[in-house]
């Protein structure tokens, strides 16, 4: 016969193709996900496959040694220059000459799956909006007067099946030199939001562009801004960094920033300028530390609460300061990053802002919903994402409720006497021996505990600079368990507790965790004021969760997800000792890291997820804590550790 059977693994897709068909072409025909950037020119090696030989009982086929064509000159040249792994072939060069079984390794799949850290989280499927494509463009011809862009578009259509793409001005300016320098071969960064959307060329390089394409997933919080530089091909996070939000100087929390805008002419503009400058600094820092050219960063995805959202966009947030809390728009936004003043990355880069849910429930809550998918859960799940505002979601397949609760910045280490952002040098874990009342701790950037041998030398790299959110949460919970703090939150004296570390501090007491030394940084204590700040924050969090439970008419949830940008993953036990979350079996409480940041990463890596969350968000019911009378009631009752009235039976066990 003139055709042959080809079976692709792991997809199991099979079909007959004429002998002499390239593996890449066969994959396209059978709908197998096999990557290519250079369009089959033997340059990019993205099309690598691993043919298998011998008898395959499972598939009912025997593959002969000559099932694929012998290595040709192009493949040999690639192998000599770059080296191919043993057993690998270039799918665009090898042709099918007999029945074949061909494995597509994960790195050759466009829609590869990126496994997430927590075991029960669904993997991220790569389907970025921006891809690199190499094309060969026809040279201009006196007899057929067409522009270079039109011929580039014709080539994209013929070689990649792409619809005519637009090119913004900076790209257009570089088009002619790139085409000529590349001898009519160029690589374009092509951005397409959905299959039906009009594509857009974001950049163009002569010949084959070797560098990667990257995106920034940005969690723009009131206190902290965190950004993850993500490879748009592999989905891996190349580098993460965070900084304090410089808007803090205009007000610690959201409402004080809204009032700053109300009281000061041009105040909103000042805050917009501050956050945009910080985003540029952060982007530059991340690119430099990762060794990535700023030009290679072609997308940015933002998640943020409504006030941050408006200030980033340059919209005065004054309407968010008063009922009915109207947003300028709650829809997702697709913009040029340059429109947001983001000039430290590619000038044609695109920006995507997740949709807001409503009023005070922002794009950060939408991102949490995207990362944790309560709308796909069979059991009733409570998700809390803790920041200066806590995003709280409660629901299952049938119904999802959301609210935002003003916890204040204590969980991020702000308004804490020795507090700091989660960064190297911050104490992130604390244990207190209930018998001796002596503490031991762990610092970000150092693998040893403070009582491990060699800790002193090891910690010199970072020093001990303060205590971050997870550290203060654990410290207060451990102090409660060790009897250093009573249920009302009062720190006992040295006589009362039997610990000389409980020192007088004005009219109250403070517990000393670390005696500052020259190398070891400042003295770190937990003061009565710190405990009060944590009590206020956790009461607001608990009250928000309770409010959603009231609305859902339940008094228990099946499971709890605890997320936030506080440093270490919060241990469920500590969260429950403080009464941050309602009572639940400890093995049904999971700590999920920064869920909003993860949601941003998903939206960056998978364009379909953007459309999906836009739809989901429309079905989420929001509950406005600011106008709910029961919020205050829940808040007051939740001030005690763990709670004045609510039972915590799981804790007793």
Applying CB under 6 A, the residues found at the interface with ligand FES are 24, 36-38, 40-47, 90-92
CB of 66 to ligand FES, least distance (A): 21
Residue with Cβ nearer ligand FES (187 or 230): 187
CB of 90 to ligand FES, least distance (A): 5
Residue with Cβ nearer ligand FES (17 or 578): 17
Q: For the chain, how many helices (H) and strands (E)?
A: 17, 32
Residue with Cβ nearer ligand FES (156 or 365): 156
Per DSSP, helices labelled H in 431-498 are 455-459, 469-481, 494-497
CB of 60 to ligand FES, least distance (A): 29
- Burial zone of 85 (CB within 10 Å; 0-12 exposed, 13-18 middle, 19+ buried): exposed
CB of 38 to ligand FES, least distance (A): 4
Per DSSP, helices labelled H in 12-134 are 23-29, 73-81
Nearest of 426, 412, 375, 421 to residue 396 by alpha carbon:
375
Residue with Cβ nearer ligand FES (40 or 374): 40
**Residue 167 contacts residue 201 (beta carbons within 8 Å):** yes
Residue with Cβ nearer ligand FES (24 or 63): 24
**Residue 203 contacts residue 171 (beta carbons within 8 Å):** yes
Residue with Cβ nearer ligand FES (37 or 526): 37
Residue with Cβ nearer ligand FES (39 or 463): 39
Pairing status of strand 297-304 against strand 3-9 = unpaired
CB of 586 to ligand FES, least distance (A): 51
Q: Classify residue 512 by its DSSP letter.
A: E
Angle at 222 between CA 581 and CA 522, to 5 degrees: 80
Alpha-carbon span 582 to 646, nearest angstrom: 9
Alpha-carbon span 423 to 462, nearest angstrom: 10
CB of 608 to ligand FES, least distance (A): 24
Residue with Cβ nearer ligand FES (3 or 79): 79
Residue with Cβ nearer ligand FES (41 or 440): 41
Q: Helix 267-290 vs helix 254-263: angle between axes, to the nearest 10 degrees?
A: 130
CB of 48 to ligand FES, least distance (A): 8
Pairing status of strand 350-353 against strand 297-304 = parallel
Residue with Cβ nearer ligand FES (45 or 606): 45
What distances in angstroms separate CA 566 from CA 353, 419, 444, 594, one per listed residue?
Answer: 23, 11, 11, 8
Residue with Cβ nearer ligand FES (46 or 501): 46
Whether residue 292 has a cis bond before it, omega within 30° of 0: no
Pairing status of strand 350-353 against strand 390-395 = unpaired
CB of 79 to ligand FES, least distance (A): 11
**Residue 582 contacts residue 363 (beta carbons within 8 Å):** no
Q: Helix 363-372 vs helix 595-605: angle between axes, to the nearest 10 degrees?
A: 80
CB of 357 to ligand FES, least distance (A): 43
Pairing status of strand 61-63 against strand 3-9 = unpaired
CB of 269 to ligand FES, least distance (A): 48
Residue with Cβ nearer ligand FES (19 or 41): 41
CB of 36 to ligand FES, least distance (A): 4
Sign of CA dihedral 26, 29, 34, 38: positive
Pairing status of strand 297-304 against strand 333-336 = unpaired
CB of 22 to ligand FES, least distance (A): 9
Question: Nearest to ligand FES by Cβ — which residue?
Answer: 92
Which helix (H) or strand (E) element contains residue 383?
Answer: strand 381-386
Whether residue 10 has a cis bond before it, omega within 30° of 0: yes
CB of 72 to ligand FES, least distance (A): 12
**134 forms bridges with which residues in the sheet?**
187
Torsion of CA 100, 105, 110, 111, to 10 degrees: 110
CB of 43 to ligand FES, least distance (A): 5
Nearest of 497, 521, 522, 519 to residue 509 by alpha carbon:
497
Residue with Cβ nearer ligand FES (72 or 166): 72
DSSP 84-118: --TT-EETTT-EE-S-EEEE--GGG-TT-EE--SS
The maximal CA–CA distance of the chain, rounded, in angstroms, is: 98
CB of 37 to ligand FES, least distance (A): 6
Nearest of 303, 322, 342, 101 to residue 219 by alpha carbon:
303
Chain-centroid distance of CA 221 in Å reads 13
Residue with Cβ nearer ligand FES (134 or 345): 134
Residue with Cβ nearer ligand FES (32 or 47): 47
């Amino acid at each position: 016969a003139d055709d042959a059977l080809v079976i692709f693994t792991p997809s199991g897709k099979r079909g007959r193709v004429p002998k002499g068909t390239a593996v890449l072409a066969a994959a396209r025909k059978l709908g197998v996900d096999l990557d290519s950037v250079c369009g089959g020119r033997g340059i990019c090696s993205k099309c690598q496959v691993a043919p298998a030989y011998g008898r395959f009982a499972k598939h009912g086929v025997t593959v002969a040694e000559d099932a694929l064509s012998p290595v040709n000159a192009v493949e040999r040249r690639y192998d000599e220059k770059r080296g191919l792994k043993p057993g690998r072939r270039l799918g665009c060069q090898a042709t099918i000459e007999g029945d074949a079984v061909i494995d597509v390794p994960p790195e050759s799949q466009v829609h590869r799956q990126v496994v997430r850290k927590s075991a029960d989280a669904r993997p991220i499927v790569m389907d970025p909006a921006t891809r690199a494509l190499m094309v060969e463009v026809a040279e201009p011809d006196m007899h057929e007067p067409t522009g270079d862009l039109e011929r580039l578009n014709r080539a994209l259509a013929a070689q990649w099946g792409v619809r005519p793409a637009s090119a913004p001005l900076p790209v257009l300016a570089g088009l002619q030199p790139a085409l000529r320098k590349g001898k009519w071969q160029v690589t374009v960064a092509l951005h397409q939001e959905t299959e039906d959307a009009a594509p857009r060329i974001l950049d163009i390089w002569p010949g084959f562009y070797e560098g990667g394409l990257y995106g920034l997933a940005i969690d723009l919080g009131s206190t902290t801004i965190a950004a993850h530089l993500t490879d748009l091909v592999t989905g891996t996070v190349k580098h993460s960094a965070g900084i304090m939000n410089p808007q803090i100087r205009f007000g610690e929390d959201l409402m004080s920033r809204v009032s700053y805008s109300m009281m000061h002419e041009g105040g909103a503009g000042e805050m917009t300028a501050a956050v945009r400058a910080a985003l540029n600094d952060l982007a530059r820092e991340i690119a430099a530390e990762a060794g990535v050219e700023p030009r290679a960063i072609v997308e940015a995805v933002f998640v943020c609460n409504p006030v941050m959202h408006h200030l980033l966009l340059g919209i005065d947030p004054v309407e968010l300061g008063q009922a009915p809390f109207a947003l300028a728009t709650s829809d997702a936004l697709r913009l040029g990053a340059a429109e947001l003043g983001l000039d430290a990355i590619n000038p044609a880069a695109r920006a995507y802002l997740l949709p807001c849910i409503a009023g005070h429930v922002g794009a950060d809550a939408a991102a949490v919903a995207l990362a944790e998918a309560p709308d796909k859960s069979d059991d009733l799940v409570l998700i809390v994402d803790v920041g200066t505002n806590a995003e709280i979601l409660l629901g299952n397949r049938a119904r999802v409720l959301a609210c935002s609760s003003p916890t204040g910045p204590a969980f991020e280490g702000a308004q804490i006497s020795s507090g700091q952002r989660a960064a190297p040098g911050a104490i992130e874990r604390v244990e207190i021996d209930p018998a001796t009342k002596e503490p031991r701790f762990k610092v970000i950037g150092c693998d040893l505990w403070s009582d491990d041998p060699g800790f002193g030398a090891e910690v010199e790299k970072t020093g001990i600079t303060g205590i971050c959110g997870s550290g203060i949460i654990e410290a207060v919970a451990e102090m409660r368990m060790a009897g250093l703090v009573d249920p009302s939150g009062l720190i006992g004296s040295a006589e009362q507790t039997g610990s000389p570390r409980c020192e007088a501090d004005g009219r109250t007491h403070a517990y000393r965790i670390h005696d500052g030394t020259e190398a070891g940084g400042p003295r770190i204590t937990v003061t009565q004021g710190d405990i009060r700040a944590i009590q206020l924050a956790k009461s607001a969090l608990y009250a928000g969760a309770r409010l959603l439970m009231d609305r859902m008419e339940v008094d228990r949830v099946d499971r709890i997800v605890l997320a936030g940008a506080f440093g270490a993953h919060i241990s469920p036990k500590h969260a429950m000792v403080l009464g941050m979350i309602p009572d639940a079996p400890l093995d049904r409480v999971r700590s999920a890291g920064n869920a909003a940041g993860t949601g941003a990463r998903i939206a960056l890596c998978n364009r379909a997820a953007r459309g999906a969350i836009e739809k989901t968000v429309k079905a989420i019911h929001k509950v406005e804590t600011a106008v709910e009378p029961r919020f205050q009631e829940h808040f007051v009752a939740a001030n005690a550790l763990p709670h004045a009235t609510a039972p915590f039976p799981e804790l007793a066990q």
